[in-house]
Each structure stands twice: as C-alpha cells, then as structure tokens.
Structure 1
Amino acid sequence: MSIAHESAASQGPLIYRQALITRLTHWTWAVCLFFLLLSGLQIFNAHPTLYIGNQSGFGFDNAVLSMRAVDTPHGAEGRTTILGHEFNTTGVFGVSGSADDPSYRGIPAALTIPSYRDLATGRVVHFFFAWLLVATLIIWLTASFANGHLRRDLTPTRRDLENFPSDVRDHVRFRFHHGNSYNVLQKLSYCAVLFVLFPLIIATGLTMSPGIDAGFPWLVEVFGGRQTARTLHFLAMFLLVLFFVVHVMMVLLAGPFNELRSMITGWYRTSPDKNASEEEKP
C-alpha cells in the first residue's frame, strides 16, 4: 500500500454530513441563544428572585432562588439563596464591581445586554431573538421532515439504544469514533434540546405574556402559575447553557477542526474502516 493510500486509510473518508439548512439553523440558534441569555439576565435583574406558584413578593414564602445585596457590619454583601440555603456571593452575584464603585444587582453588568440597567431595551432584544428562534425552529422542523434528516439522523434506533452503555463508556474514556451518523448520546441530547427544552422555553415564555394569557388562560394552569412558568423558563435556559458547555467540550475533545468544518462546509472526516484496513494489509 502506498504512503498516500496509507494516509487516506488512516484518516478515513471525507463525507458530506451536514446539509445547508442544518448548518444555517445551527448557527442561527447559537446567535439567538447568546442574545436571549444575556438579555434574559437583564430582565431577571429587574427582580432577581424566582418563585413557585402564581404570586410573588415580600408577603410570600415561595422563593426558590434570590440574588440580592444585604447590609452587614462590614458593608454590603451579595447573598444568593437557593432553596433556603444562603451563600455569600459578593463580587459575583448581588454585589459586584470594585470596592470603590460597587454595583448592587443580581447579575453583574458584564453578563447582561445591555450592560447598564435598561429593562425596556433588554425586553426588545429578548423578544426579537425569541421570535427568531421560533421561526428558525419551524423552518428546521419542516426541512428536516422533508429531507429525511429527522428520521435518518436524529431518531434513535433499537441498535442505538443497545449501544448506549458502550457509547457512554467510550465518552468517559474520551474515545470518539467519527462515524457517518450521530452516536446515540448525540441523538438523545439533540432530541432533548429540540423537542423538550426548546418547546418548554417557548411555552413558558408565552405563559409570562399577559396578551397570550388573555387568549390562552389555560397555559398558566398547565405550568402551575405564572411564577412557576418564570422559574421553569430560567431552568430551561440553564439546561441549554449546560448543554452548550458540554457540546463545546465534546467538539474540542473530538477534534475541533473536523467538527467545525462539518458545521461550516458540511464535509466531515470519518474514522477509518478497521475491517477495510485489515483487508488491505499484505
């Protein structure tokens, strides 16, 4: 076998894996989620407390998370309370900035859009990218159903589920196989994002809209109250951020050039066929 042939075999074939519509919607979602997260944190800062139920305020004991500044003998401190457990988060949540110019806000300015206090602008940015995400999801669903991407690449098969334990072991050991299709962990995580988290964050966002509530009052009941919907909305975004972090880590570990190339050009370098390689040996 020649050196050129050996090099090609060691790398595996280059296949066209990602359709144009898949790549366009992928990057559109990435942009949307970036602006939705930071503008959402701007909106959260207007009242940095999450509740369960339909009511909120000082007269109720139904808060599950709060970020606030409190006065102490040593000065103002940031306090974050999660399910009744209080933590000192001075410098990050509640109180941030320098000692000479402290900022009393739940989320620091560097993590909000806009960075200064402007609820109106935050809401405009948030709603724009929220509807862009919804439109992109509808376009993706329509195209993926029409071109078979949904059935062919994302629906877990019986064989996928049987390979689930071995796929988990391979990922824990950082052993990545670059195949022609997604592995079972990818399929399950992508389906969770596209068919659970996206619909949940859209539905809870609509539930917080008085205009939508007027036309569909049952939405509030489905989520157990407006404040519960707000809490679930932030929980869904937290899980999306967690997915994004793990997703980026997997891209870096599996080979960033190959993974990014597939989402920019559509072309993906697969792992070599071990059986074919054995047959070609003298």
Structure 2
Amino acid sequence: MRQLVYRQSIWTRVTHWTWVLCLIFLLMSGLQIFNARPDLYIGQQSGFGFDNSVLRMSAVETPTGPEGQTELFGHQFDTTGVFGVSGPKSDRQFQGFPSALTVPSYRDLATGRVIHFFFAWLLVGTLLLWLVAGLFNGHIRRDLLPKGRDLRALPNDVLSHLRFRFSHGQRYNPLQKLSYFTVIFALLPLMVLTGLTMSPGMDAAWPWLLEIFGGRQTARSLHFAVACLLVLFFLVHIAMVVAAGPINELRSMITGWFRPAADVEVFSEEEK
C-alpha cells in the first residue's frame, strides 16, 4: 500500500474549515437579506419611473391561485414552489427564497444582517491569516500559483476530469490550481469589495468604490452573482471530492496526510 504523505499544513486546514463555516452562514443570512427586496438592478438606484432590473422574484395572482414568478433579464419563468412562492399550500411563503435556505428561517432582517456582518469579517480575517501563512510557508507559490506548465497541461487535465480520470498526486493538478487561485484571489476579494460598496459609510470614506462598480445597485447585483459562482464552485468541489475518493480527500483536509496514487511522483521536502 502506498505510504501517506503530508499534504495540507495546519494553517491550510484551519482556514479551509473556517471558510466553509463562514460561507454557509454568509449564504443563508445573505438570502435572508435578499428576501427583504428580492430583486436586483444595474446602476446607482432602483428604477421607479424606469426599469433597470436584471432579476426579480415575486408572487403573482392567477385564476388558480398565487404563483411564484422569476424574471431574469426580461424573461419570465414560473418558479412556484422554489422562488417567489414556496412551502405547502396550507402554509404558503411569499418571498424570494424559501425559509429553509435562510438564517434565521423566519423573516428577521436585523438578525440576518448581524449574522452576515459577523461572518463577513471573520472571513476577511481568516483570508488575511491564510495569506500571511501561505506567503511564509510557500503554499501559495508552490501549490496555488499556476505556472506555464500548468497552463499547457490544462486542456488535457480538463478532458481527464470530464472522463472521471483523476490523478491522486501530492500536488494540486492544473485545474485545481486554477480554480482555487480564482476563488481566493478573484471571487473572494470581489465579494468583499462589492459588499463594502453597499455600505453608505464605506461609500463616504471610499467614494471610488461606487465609481469602480458603477453604483450601489450594480455592486449588489455583482455580489449576488459572485455568491452564485461560489455556490457552483462548492457543488463542483464536493462532486470532485466524492469522485476522487472522499476518505482520502477528507483525511488530507482533517489530518494533513494524503495517500497518493501509485503512478504519481512523491516529492521530498527539499523538492517541494
């Protein structure tokens, strides 16, 4: 049996699970906040005498009763039971997202905002801690920064993943590097900056935020879009963990030790 190798440092493991906790509560409390006004706009303000919406979830009255309707870029969809109108007929919920996906599960904007801001700052603090540790121990340079050979090998790596052929190596494969790098250095910073742009206090202190994102409503729409991309990344990430061997992958992220496949090279500490 192939021997175990040390793959994940304590800093990587602690920050990883802290991010998981933060992102779950940020998503569910964010949906609570979204439900206070379940629509998104482009620009500085929402339209009254004009329509600049890109997404709207609502309940509409029909001859057969209320139905959920979602409008996306002018196209309308019946989303009864999921968005707009959800829950059993005996206890209908008329809100954007169902209460099962929000924290708290009942309508409470104030509590949702408190939870959201707490985990937002915890996420920022954890990201800064990870960044310092990653620069100090070489994790970012060694494991996450895509190099020329990674980009050249990316097409073949994508094809291998589509065929469910995974390389259980000591190092991240090109697709892992690119996806992790994008999430940590693009999506998470964009999420933080768009969140700050929605704060009137931050806009007064840093008015350039409004200029960068084209208005507070545009920042809110981008914030929502990035959240959707993070959810998509999470779902794909979980699927890849299951497909690649959940026991081995979870052991790596809990204990740090990983069992590479027999056909891959194992690197010594000096070679890393």
TM range (shorter): over 0.9
Alignment check: 8 A CA contact 2:169 2:264 kept: no
Which position in structure 2 is the counterpart of 1:50?
Answer: 40
**Deviation of residue 151 (structure 1)?**
0.4
Matches within 5 A, 1:191-210: 191-210=181-200
| Candidates 86, 92, 97, aligned match of 1:102 | 92
Which position in structure 2 is the counterpart of 1:32?
Answer: 22
Which position in structure 1 is the counterpart of 2:216?
Answer: 226
**Deviation of residue 274 (structure 1)?**
6.9
Matches of 1:96 and 1:114, distance apart in 2:
16
SS in 2 for 1:270: coil
Identity of aligned residues (%): 66
Q: TM-score, normalised by structure 2?
A: 0.95
Q: Does 1:169 align with 2:179?
A: no
Matches within 5 A, 1:104-183: 104-183=94-173
Which position in structure 2 is the counterpart of 1:21?
Answer: 11
Q: Closer, same or farther in 2 for the Cα pair 1:274/1:65, shift >3 Å?
A: closer
Q: Does 1:89 align with 2:79?
A: yes
1:201 partner letter: M
Q: Closer, same or farther in 2 for the Cα pair 1:194/1:86, shift >3 Å?
A: same
Q: TM-score, normalised by structure 1?
A: 0.92
Matches of 1:275 and 1:152, distance apart in 2:
16
**Cα RMSD over matched residues?**
1.3
| Candidates 206, 210, 216, aligned match of 2:206 | 216
Q: Closer, same or farther in 2 for the Cα pair 1:274/1:178, shift >3 Å?
A: closer
2:14 partner letter: L
Q: What whole-Å deviation, never above 9, does each CA across 1:218-239 have from its counterpart, x for those lacking one?
A: 1011101100000000000000
Bigger shift: 88-97 or 189-198? 88-97
**Deviation of residue 101 (structure 1)?**
1.9
Give the count of matched residue pairs.
266
Matches of 1:31 and 1:274, distance apart in 2:
33
SS in 2 for 1:121: helix
SS in 2 for 1:221: helix
Alignment check: 8 A CA contact 1:13 1:272 kept: no
SS in 2 for 1:100: helix
**Deviation of residue 157 (structure 1)?**
1.7
**Deviation of residue 87 (structure 1)?**
0.5
Matches of 2:174 and 2:265, distance apart in 1:
22
Alignment check: 8 A CA contact 2:169 2:265 kept: no
| Candidates 240, 247, 257, aligned match of 2:237 | 247
1:85 partner letter: H
Q: What whole-Å deviation, never above 9, does each CA across 1:72-128 have from its counterpart, x for those lacking one?
A: 222111100000000111111111111122111111110000010000000000000
Which position in structure 2 is the counterpart of 1:185?
Answer: 175
Alignment check: 8 A CA contact 1:13 1:271 kept: no
Structure 2, unmatched stretches of 5+, are 267-272
Matches of 1:232 and 1:112, distance apart in 2:
20
Matches of 1:68 and 1:187, distance apart in 2:
40
Alignment check: 8 A CA contact 2:84 2:94 kept: yes
1:186 partner letter: Q
SS in 2 for 1:264: helix
2:67 partner letter: E
Structure 1, unmatched stretches of 5+, are 1-7, 277-282
**Deviation of residue 58 (structure 1)?**
3.6
1:125 partner letter: I
**Deviation of residue 59 (structure 1)?**
2.7
Bigger shift: 138-147 or 90-99? 90-99
